[in-house]
Chains A and B, each alone.
Chain A
Amino acid sequence: MKYLSEFRDPEAAKALHQQIKKAAAKLPGPVKIMEICGSHTVSIFRAGIKSLLPSNVTLVSGPGCPVCVTATEDMDRMIALSGMAVEKNITIATFGDMVRVPGSFTSLEKERAAGADVRITATPLDALRWAGENPDREVVFLGVGFETTSPTIAATVERAQRDNISNFTVYPAFKLLPPALAALLDSEDVALDAFICPGHVSVMLGADTYRPVAAKYGKPCVIAGFEPLDIMLGISVALGLLANKQHEVYNTYKRAVTDEGNRAAMDLLMKIFKPVDTPWRGLGYIPDSGLDFREEYSEFNAITRYGLTEVETGSDPPGCACGEVLRGVIDPPQCHLFGNECSPQSPMGSCMVSSEGSCAAWYRYSE
């Protein structure tokens, strides 16, 4: 419980606010810092941190919300699967936010209202349990997420094989963070000065992951926790590094993140899956940024079991600027659809659906 009071202490916040203002005053010009992770985005908005920043410091949200970066073609295939659900006795198990993401034609939420068995769960182990309890049904888990969530899903697949549960499969739409970060920095229209690196993903990957990025691109990378004070500290450190022209990795979340990360989890992940080129919403294909089943586990691949590569897929809704938003090129209100055609109650783009999406956060929390 101490985390919940000490890391939200108003007095400490005042001190950090002063530090941020002091560090910002030393900067030669305006800076843009990207918080990569969707949970950071939400925390920043909920704590009103943007309203505390000096005018020369801008925070932009990055591609770190797993729902937001799921490509429309993957969404379309998942939804097509739900369309087969009744006929083929399929139960679809998914993290909650996926249900409302629109595909090109419909959404899982609408398919559920039309009769598909779509169930929300917080853990893939629930899905495996349902499969074990209902041998006459096929349970498909929609596998989205970064290095934080994917090892749990890998562990579930391993258990399914061990327990011989053959009516359980996973739709692999996982994403790997480091290749995306590199792709982001390689793209011409992205101008970022520093990163607030995710807390949970870094627990898995380790702080060392960011060292090549910091060195190659000369951008400070500050790993931060999720409490409001963690984030303010992260911003303050990033501004300090920028003011001193230091381009290093700085770990302010040492209570959870080590240099080497969780090797056991990462090894398990790579035992079940292998890196593949994968499409990201709005970012296109990024080399080796996704995961596919290794040969020994391919029987658990929902895409091949249900022939989902044959499914007709559409494209992103016209005018949707999720891609630019995810790369931090524009702020959500600069998208023409924002607040008009696209809002959390009738979202067009995935960034408006997920509670961690930056469009939804802007819409919900921004005055």
Chain B
Amino acid sequence: MTDERILISHGSGGKKSQELTERTFLKYFTDPALLLMNDQAVINIDTKKIAISTDTYTIDPIFFPGGNIGSLSVHGTVNDISMSGATPIAMSAGFILEEGLMLSELERIAESMAVAAAEASVRIVTADTKVVARGSADRIFINTTGIGILSEKTNICGQGAKVGDRIILSGTIGDHGIAIASSREGIEFSTPVISDSASLNYLVQTLLEAVPEGVHVMRDPTRGGLATVLNEIASQSSVGILIREAKIPLKKAVIGACELFGYDPLYLANEGKMVALVREPDAEKALEAIKSHPLGRDAMIIGEVVDDHPSKVVLRTLMGGRRLVDRLTGDMLPRIC
């Protein structure tokens, strides 16, 4: 115990990360809002319901097809807040810079953060910079905090899934993971895969306007992918989840790249997708609303919440068989967010 060290797999977002959180942090951090283990916490300040989140971005490479670490940090922050149903208002940005980083690169990153923030109508209201010696960080790490406001009635969280809920996925999965992996490995595909990094707050707004009471859970399948978020929801809500392989939207290039790299797309990171669990009577209307938004045009209902196999996710395969979809164990990819 005492001579144990942090291993790369502790940062995978899968079981090993969960184990680290439970064994170390939850021993000392015991606030009830934190213990809900959602991507953001919802707290009351006077009469206002506030969503607050924090995230740290360490992606390698820092520039990738479809974005860079700066735009990603804004999108990720906006999305963490949005998944509670809150309207993101403002965010902070803390920079850890390694000695030797090109100033021109830093400027490109800062500029794309400003653009991404403006697009999402989110204010970057405070920031901090630290510089560390060469080798003490990898070029640039960014930490953010986001805050947003929720309406009184909104109660969307990982604990909210109910048997019968339909599971809507807003589009193709794995684009970000493959964009990063292929740019890192220097492999180009005939159809290049671009990261899906994007702010989802307006998509969420469209959805919530269409079915104000119908959405029980929203989650963005980032690190650890669709498999990981569905497992989190299944265990947070103590329900079973059944999904259909045939319904999961995938780009051909992503399928091909997964064969090449040996990845399972269910575990690949996404930075501009969401999963929404919607009560059955509202499901079609919710799907239409999501599809009406440019970021949701490939959306599909991929499965439902079932009263079988609580806390587990099961996949009906293309071959007609069934299998468990477990959480990611260990590390599939190096730093992707």
26 A-B residue pairs with Cβ-Cβ distance under 8 Å, sorted by A, are A4-B256, A13-B320, A14-B320, A17-B320, A45-B323, A46-B317, A47-B318, A47-B319, A47-B323, A48-B315, A48-B319, A48-B320, A48-B321, A48-B323, A49-B319, A49-B321, A51-B321, A100-B9, A113-B7, A343-B329, A345-B15, A345-B330, A363-B326, A366-B323, A367-B314, A367-B322
CB distance from B189 to the nearest CB of A (A): 11
Is B252 located at the chain interface by the 8 A CB criterion?
yes
Is B312 located at the chain interface by the 8 A CB criterion?
yes
Query: How many angstroms between the C-alpha atoms of A112 and B10 in the bound complex?
Result: 14
Contact of B264 (CB < 8 Å), options: A46, A48, A49, A228: A46
Contact in complex: A10, B246 (CB < 8 Å): yes
CB distance from A128 to the nearest CB of B (A): 18
Q: Which residues, 241 to 255 on A, are CB-close (under 8 Å) to B? A: none
Q: Which chain B positions have C-beta within 8 A of A49?
A: 319, 321
4 smallest CB-CB distances across A and B, nearest first, come from: A48-B321, A344-B329, A48-B317, A113-B5
Contact in complex: A13, B319 (CB < 8 Å): yes
Contact in complex: A51, B323 (CB < 8 Å): yes
Contact in complex: B252, A228 (CB < 8 Å): no
Q: Which chain B positions have C-beta within 8 A of A228?
A: 317-319
Is A264 located at the chain interface by the 8 A CB criterion?
no
Contact in complex: A109, B319 (CB < 8 Å): no
Query: How many angstroms between the C-alpha atoms of A229 and B5 in the bound complex?
Result: 44
Contact in complex: B318, A367 (CB < 8 Å): no
Is B36 located at the chain interface by the 8 A CB criterion?
no
Query: How many angstroms between the C-alpha atoms of A343 and B19 in the bound complex?
Result: 13
Shortest Cβ distance from A45 into B: residue: B323
Contact in complex: A365, B324 (CB < 8 Å): yes
Q: Which chain B positions have C-beta within 8 A of A224?
A: none
Is A325 located at the chain interface by the 8 A CB criterion?
no
Is B89 located at the chain interface by the 8 A CB criterion?
no
Q: Which chain A positions have C-beta within 8 A of B317?
A: 46-48, 228
Q: Which chain B positions have C-beta within 8 A of A365?
A: 323-324, 326
Is B35 located at the chain interface by the 8 A CB criterion?
no
CB distance from A347 to the nearest CB of B (A): 9
Contact in complex: A110, B319 (CB < 8 Å): no
Is A86 located at the chain interface by the 8 A CB criterion?
no
A129-149 CB contact bits vs B (8 Å, 1 = yes)? 000000000000000000000
Query: How many angstroms between the C-alpha atoms of A100 and B332 in the bound complex?
Result: 12
Query: How many angstroms between the C-alpha atoms of A46 and B262 in the bound complex?
Result: 12
Is B6 located at the chain interface by the 8 A CB criterion?
yes
CB distance from A34 to the nearest CB of B (A): 19
Query: How many angstroms between the C-alpha atoms of A112 and B6 in the bound complex?
Result: 10
Query: How many angstroms between the C-alpha atoms of A112 and B5 in the bound complex?
Result: 10
Q: Which chain A positions have C-beta within 8 A of B318?
A: 8, 10, 13, 47, 228
A328-361 CB contact bits vs B (8 Å, 1 = yes)? 0000000000000001110000000001000000
Contact of B323 (CB < 8 Å), options: A46, A229, A355: A46
Contact in complex: B326, A48 (CB < 8 Å): no
Q: Which chain B positions have C-beta within 8 A of A8?
A: 318-319
Is B16 located at the chain interface by the 8 A CB criterion?
yes
Query: How many angstroms between the C-alpha atoms of A186 and B322 in the bound complex?
Result: 35
Is A50 located at the chain interface by the 8 A CB criterion?
yes
